[in-house]
Structure 1
Amino acid sequence: MSTVIMSESSDEQAAGQHYLVCGIEDCHENGQFYCNDCHRPVCEHCRDEHVKNPDTKFHEIVLYRHRKHQLPVEKCKLHPTRNVDIFCKECKIPICSKCSTMKEHHRHEFDDLEEIYTEKYALQQGEFSKIQKYFLPNTKSLKSEIEADATKIHKLMESIRTSMKAEAESLKNLVDEVSSENIDHTHTMEKSLLEMLKSQETIYDDYIAYLGKMSDDFEQHLSLTNHKLLFSETLKIKTIPETTKPVDPVFTAGRFSKDDVAKLLGRVNISNAEPKKRKIQPMEAVTTQMKSTEKQLEQSKEKSDVKQTLSLSSFITKVREYSVPGVDGVWHVSVEKSDRLWVSDWSNLVQTDLQGKQLQKIQTSDGHGYHTATQDGDLIYTDKDNKQIYRITPDKKITKFIKTGDWRPLSVHSSRINGDILVGMYKFYQGKVTRYSKAGQEIQNIQRDNQEQGLYSEPHYITENINGDICTSDYNKRAVVVVNKSGQHRFSYTGQGSGFRPYGICTDVLGHILVCDWYSKTVHLLDQDGGFLSVILSPQQGIMPPCGVCVDDENNLCVGQRDTNTLTVYKYLQ
């Protein structure tokens, strides 16, 4: 009997990921139905035959995802030849059909054990799915949020410590300045007091000289030979000049404490505000989330099926060509939906349909690969001058999304794998790639290789391959730089010969890398490991020169030219 091609881990996986083969002998059609009595998948034709057959016409046939799970075989301990398949509601134990006839179970009510098993299986399967699709992802998201908060706190405290050191240094400089002025003042005061005392010394020197002269005069008056002088005049002595003692300078010590200094320098405190609880997705959203996951699985299967049937065509065919109003050149292209594109030149960002009709226009100031459409239908674009990343919602509302600090954002890409936002940035002739979550939280920074050499100069365009590789087009480095999802350098492609100048870059469903070469005016096709496959477009196809590239939902290559507003669509896969 044929069975499921691949083993299943859940109902959703069986229904969305795996191909089921009909369980009827010699039938290999898709077993989309299930016979709950035979416990095997059946195709539509065999289902109809099953109903017509007298032996099976009363069997219960349902869609595969609504099937009853087969009861595991368990032998009855009392009757080893019988299988346990009945549940006694009074005794609350599983029994076999022969047990039900025993007097211990006389007049007891019974249930089909397989029905109970199916119900319990579905219940437990649902709980298991909640773990995988709700509890575990949300817990990991909260953990990532905590890690992001830890990084933020570390950066914040480093900034506070730097500010505190600067403030303390400033206070030290002021203390040194005031102390120096005070010391200079003591020198000036000392000089003034010493000059005053020197003046007083001069007064007494003069008075001492006067007293010497007076002593000589008195000696002459008292001389016996000159006794007549005693009668001629009477000598009088001048009083001793008065002088003042200097007032001693007094140093009044500053009155301050450690707390006073702390007030001068400031203090870091925790706010009294109540901490905000981390947002946990409500349980009511589980069902919606599961349905979304099922849809993603189905889309993944469809893409996988397409990948298995597609291959490189031996020649490239032009599908359509049209002019995009509102731009002077097509520097970059982002596919929003199957019928809409975003196109930009150096200073204009235009939304257009496949007929070239303008739907929306925004004035910008960037150029290169600075916009990307998300899986949610938003458009994200960078503004390198304001160091800001913006988001445009389907209702045309523009909001600030991410601030990039000292770095100028050049290129941006929304991951088709997990919705992460990849941003190429630069400052002072050095570049880096930063990964953000869908909510705008910084997750990863990629800047250097294992030898601590800078990987990037100015990553003008950025994209992601199907294996998670991050591919950047660095015009200044003259290379396509590719790292894996962990940030480890895998390879750099530097063109064929000299003069390689990479511009627009994209990848396709087969993992190919397509990059524009400004120097040779060509589009190069590489394999997933950087191996050169071919020049897929050259001036012979009328592209002068190719600048922006992307692959649309129909696996066509959209190519824009820098010097004209012409957008050309090619088919290169078959």
Structure 2
Amino acid sequence: MATTSDEQAAGQHYLVCGIQDCQRNGQFYCNDCHQPMCEQCKDEHRKSPNNKNHDIVLYRQRKHRLPTEKCKLHPTKNVDIFCKECKTPLCLKCFLTEDHKGHEFDDLEEIYAKKYAVWQGEFSKIQKYFLPTLEDLKTDIKEDVKEIKKIMESIRTSMKAEAESLKNLVDEVTSEKIECTHTMEKSLIQMLKSQETTYNDFITYLGKMSDKFQEYLSTTKQKLLSSEILKIQSIPETSKLVPPVFTAGQFNRDDVAKLLGRVNVPNTEPERRKVQPMEAVSTPMKFTEKQLEQSKEKSDMKPTLSLSSSVTKVREYSVPGVNNAFHVSADKSGRLWVSDNNGNLVQTDLQGNLLQKIQTSGGSDGYHTATQDGGLIYTDRDKKKIYRITPDRKISEFLKTGDWEPVSVHSSRINGDILVGMKKDRRAKVTRYNKAGKEIQNIQRDNQGQELYDYPHYITENINGDICTSDFNNRAVVVVNKSGKHRFSYTGQGSWFRPYGICTDVLGHILVCDGINYTVHLLDQDGEFLSVILSKQQGINDPCGVCVDDENNLYVGQDYTNTVTVYKYLE
């Protein structure tokens, strides 16, 4: 098989001139001779009278050479002519036959070159426009899936809350009605006892009358005849009580359904997905000189720290290789690990340069953590394993979690223990492993035996050993002490709260992202709300991941952007 000029040049740093032994850059191309040329050889080639009409162009504008094809009727001849009348490729011998006398012909190589250019252009569109655009649209759909899941989960939670409210109301009304029956029963029994007392009194009366009759009967006949006849009173009349009757309420399933509201899709014209025009050119985000200068600055740590009166933006990273920044981990060297909801996990330096990238099964959870030795630990939910990355970038299996899916992970700065938030079916727990990967503690229920967790998707540890967990489904930050005893749960400052990324600082503060109200809350060590430390006023749109480095810088990652912003809030 013949080797093309492109293939010959594949192993070179540049295309070599095809004239004799010339080794200069062949940046030109002779469409008649079908060979690359350097500028000097091109000029020499044109000086020859035989070549003065040759078509010499830049190499990228060359005509592609017609592939060699033998004529079926004349096997020794190449097909290079096209009969316009018969619409058939021909060789020179076919061209001279009577069958094609008087026909119009075209140069088959010209036709091939034009067709090649057209199809090459279409192929280029597929590679440079259609496929990348479709990937963007797929990413957009994935974001919509995430948003729909978030909305539907919120609707389900609202429905449950509404149903619980209705149940409580039903219980309250039922209790009132039952209490009413007790009062009614007491009144009716009192009436019946009153009747019983009336009859008891009449029996006493009859006893007295019996005594008188016996007395009279025992006297002499004369005295009995002279005595008045005693009349017995009539038995007192009483009435039987009419017992109460319960009339069942008139309602059915539809009535209950109306009370609990309904879910429907608004009759609104859906917005069309935006498709980038083919001529548009996307440029990667880069640091400004000011940002690069800021990234080199070091903060002077004071002997004592306290909350600053304001939050100051220090710098921003545009993180390559991720679509958004759902979780952020800063290691001891100041380098940054960032993950998105598509399983991309990348490491960058202080200037935002990509150092390494790995594909994981993780999503919008806190599934990686920087370790004390400068490495990283991350979970694999699908394989139910936890992996370790050493500072020299070697990846190895650290431990297996059995039937439980590891959702979130944190490496303790106190003793190096590994805390893992896990799920299995409808159960969840937090498990502690030592640095060797041995299981040493399981936390699943409170003192009353109630489940503590539902979906512990971010986890961290405070300076006092408290384990702080963002529980997505419980809509709460659940905090237990180092022994696993429940201390408190933080449920936000309003009716809507959805905790995401969580971290703590050297003062024991707890910082947590609210994915519903797009804010970052600051709590004290005991769960008391101190302030909304970041909101849209500081340029935060959808905070998801937070961490604090050794210099007390607060890193905030967001959804819908690959930007990580760094703030100072301690002084």
TM-score, normalization: structure 1? 0.54
Aligned residue type for 2:278: V
**1:215-230 aligned within 5 A:** 215-221=210-216, 225=220, 227-228=222-223
Conserved 8 A contact 2:344-2:357: no
Conserved 8 A contact 2:28-2:39: yes
Distance 1:546 1:32, change over 3 A: farther
Structure 1 residue 259 and structure 2 residue 205: aligned? no
Determine what percentage of the aligned residue pairs are the same residue.
53
Q: CA deviation at 1:66?
A: 0.9
Q: CA deviation at 1:186?
A: 2.6
Conserved 8 A contact 2:345-2:358: no
Residue in structure 2 matching 1:414, options 319, 324, 331: 319
Aligned residue type for 2:354: N
How many Å separate the matches in 1 of 2:67 and 2:123? 20
Residue in structure 2 matching 1:343, options 294, 304, 319: 294
Aligned residue type for 1:273: T
2:343 matched to which residue of 1? 444
Residue in structure 2 matching 1:492, options 383, 391, 401: 391
Q: CA deviation at 1:95?
A: 1.4
1:203 matched to which residue of 2? 198
Q: CA deviation at 1:188?
A: 3.0
Distance 1:237 1:422, change over 3 A: closer
Distance 1:18 1:268, change over 3 A: farther
Structure 1 residue 244 and structure 2 residue 133: aligned? no
Structure 1 residue 77 and structure 2 residue 72: aligned? yes
Q: Deviations over 1:305-330 (max 9, x none)?
A: xxxxxxxxxxxxxxxxxxxxxxxxxx
Aligned residue type for 1:95: L
Q: Deviations over 1:368-391 (max 9, x none)?
A: 7x512xxxxxxxxxxxxxxxxxxx
**1:390-409 aligned within 5 A:** none
Conserved 8 A contact 2:9-2:15: no
Q: Deviations over 1:97-141 (max 9, x none)?
A: 333332222222211111111000001111111222222222333
Residue in structure 2 matching 1:52, options 35, 47, 51: 47
Conserved 8 A contact 1:3-1:22: no
Structure 1 residue 365 and structure 2 residue 311: aligned? yes
* Root-mean-square deviation over aligned CA pairs: 4.7
Q: CA deviation at 1:52?
A: 1.4
Q: CA deviation at 1:341?
A: 4.5
**1:2-151 aligned within 5 A:** 19-151=14-146
Q: CA deviation at 1:169?
A: 3.9
Conserved 8 A contact 2:83-2:103: yes
Stretches of structure 2 lacking an aligned partner (at least 5 in a row): 300-308, 330-335, 360-365, 381-385, 394-412, 414-549, 554-567
Aligned residue type for 2:391: S
Q: Deviations over 1:363-422 (max 9, x none)?
A: 972667x512xxxxxxxxxxxxxxxxxxxxxxxxxxxxxxxxxxxxxxxx321xx57444
**1:136-175 aligned within 5 A:** 136-175=131-170
How many Å separate the matches in 2 of 1:547 and 1:173? 47
Q: CA deviation at 1:480?
A: 3.4
- 2:159 counterpart SS class: helix
Q: CA deviation at 1:491?
A: 2.0
How many Å separate the matches in 2 of 1:127 and 1:364? 55
Aligned residue type for 1:371: E
Q: CA deviation at 1:88?
A: 1.4
How many Å separate the matches in 1 of 2:121 and 2:349? 46
How many Å separate the matches in 2 of 1:109 and 1:466? 62
**1:512-523 aligned within 5 A:** none
How many Å separate the matches in 2 of 1:195 and 1:336? 89
Conserved 8 A contact 1:6-1:19: no
Conserved 8 A contact 1:423-1:462: no
1:286 matched to which residue of 2? 278
Aligned residue type for 2:99: E
Distance 1:481 1:364, change over 3 A: farther
Conserved 8 A contact 1:148-1:443: no
2:265 matched to which residue of 1? 270
Stretches of structure 1 lacking an aligned partner (at least 5 in a row): 297-333, 348-362, 373-412, 427-431, 437-441, 448-455, 500-544, 549-561, 563-574
Distance 1:78 1:203, change over 3 A: closer
- 1:365 counterpart SS class: strand
Distance 1:175 1:337, change over 3 A: closer
Q: Deviations over 1:422-464 (max 9, x none)?
A: 45448xxxxx96545xxxxx433769xxxxxxxx9xx997955
Distance 1:8 1:346, change over 3 A: same
Conserved 8 A contact 1:22-1:28: yes
2:354 matched to which residue of 1? 465
- 1:468 counterpart SS class: strand
How many Å separate the matches in 1 of 2:18 and 2:377? 46
Aligned residue type for 1:414: V
Distance 1:3 1:346, change over 3 A: same
Conserved 8 A contact 1:86-1:112: yes
1:504 matched to which residue of 2? none
How many Å separate the matches in 2 of 1:434 and 1:336? 17
Conserved 8 A contact 2:26-2:38: yes
Conserved 8 A contact 1:3-1:40: no
Conserved 8 A contact 1:221-1:230: no
Conserved 8 A contact 2:159-2:260: yes
The number of aligned residues is 372
Q: CA deviation at 1:280?
A: 3.3
Q: Deviations over 1:196-237 (max 9, x none)?
A: 211221111111211222233344445552744754656444
Conserved 8 A contact 2:26-2:36: yes
- 1:30 counterpart SS class: coil
How many Å separate the matches in 2 of 1:338 and 1:461? 13
Aligned residue type for 1:492: P
Structure 1 residue 189 and structure 2 residue 181: aligned? no
Q: CA deviation at 1:489?
A: 4.6
Q: CA deviation at 1:41?
A: 1.0
